[in-house]
Amino acid sequence: MAAIEIPSPVDHDPIEGPRVRFRPIEERDLPDLLRWLADPEVRRYYGEPPASVAAARADYMEPDVSPCWRFVIELHGRGVGEIQYYHQYAGYQEWTAGIDLFIGEPDARDRGVGTEVVRTMLAYLFEMKRLHRVIIDPEVANRRAIRCYEKAGFRFDGVLRHHAFEHGEYVDTYFMSMLEDEWPEARRRWEAERTR
């Protein structure tokens, strides 16, 4: 059987939203990425940061085992964090994707930016990529992330026991999802909040 080629995580067009923009990670972003990943709030849920620029490059700019595209989140032209979308399996089940994100600049958290970022990615995945389902799996203890994803319209599917291994411990995560027919209502709420 022919091997499936995993695409580059930085070979993607930018994604434009009404308030935030996602652009593929570039070499010049690596020092910021290292700094963001060392921030205590990010580290708490992302584990130990890469040890060097070379390690960050390997983690964030080079292909992994499944297809994944990684972006710097820009707010008014300033990089404030990272978001990625991925398919669990290369070559099939590409009707579903997962997303992960962090806001690395402390002054950009708790101001609605994360919710705006998630909604912008959902709009892209449902409206441009025409996906059927988007998933996210925050740690059960990460109440802020869970609240953010609920605001964007994600629903709870259940608990994944010991689904992550962070700081030397297995931790439970929620499995949250949105289906394509739930997106129009979530988009209406987003638009209503924007015009308020």
Ligand X SMILES: CC(C)(COP(=O)(O)OP(=O)(O)OC[C@H]1O[C@@H](n2cnc3c(N)ncnc32)[C@H](O)[C@@H]1OP(=O)(O)O)[C@@H](O)C(=O)NCCC(=O)NCCS
Binding site for ligand X (CB under 6 A): 41-42, 45, 101-103, 109-115, 138, 142-145, 147-148
Q: Which amino acid is at 193?
A: E
| Shortest Cβ 74–ligand X spacing (Å) | 14
Task: Name the strand (E) or helix (H) holding 156.
Answer: strand 155-166
Q: Distance between CA atoms of 178 and 154, rounded to whole angstroms? A: 5
The smaller minimum CB distance to ligand X, of residues 19 and 147, is found at 147
The smaller minimum CB distance to ligand X, of residues 9 and 98, is found at 98
How many residues in total does the chain contain? 196
Contact indicator for 134, 125 with CB cutoff of 8 Å? yes
Give the tokens for residue 35.
């700094």
Burial of 103 (0-12, 13-18, 19+ CB in 10 A): buried
| Shortest Cβ 151–ligand X spacing (Å) | 6
Q: CB nearest ligand X: which residue? A: 114
The smaller minimum CB distance to ligand X, of residues 10 and 118, is found at 118
| Shortest Cβ 101–ligand X spacing (Å) | 5
For 111, phi then psi, to 5°, come to -125, 15
| Shortest Cβ 163–ligand X spacing (Å) | 12
The smaller minimum CB distance to ligand X, of residues 30 and 103, is found at 103
Q: List the helix and strand counts (H, then E) for the chain.
A: 6, 8
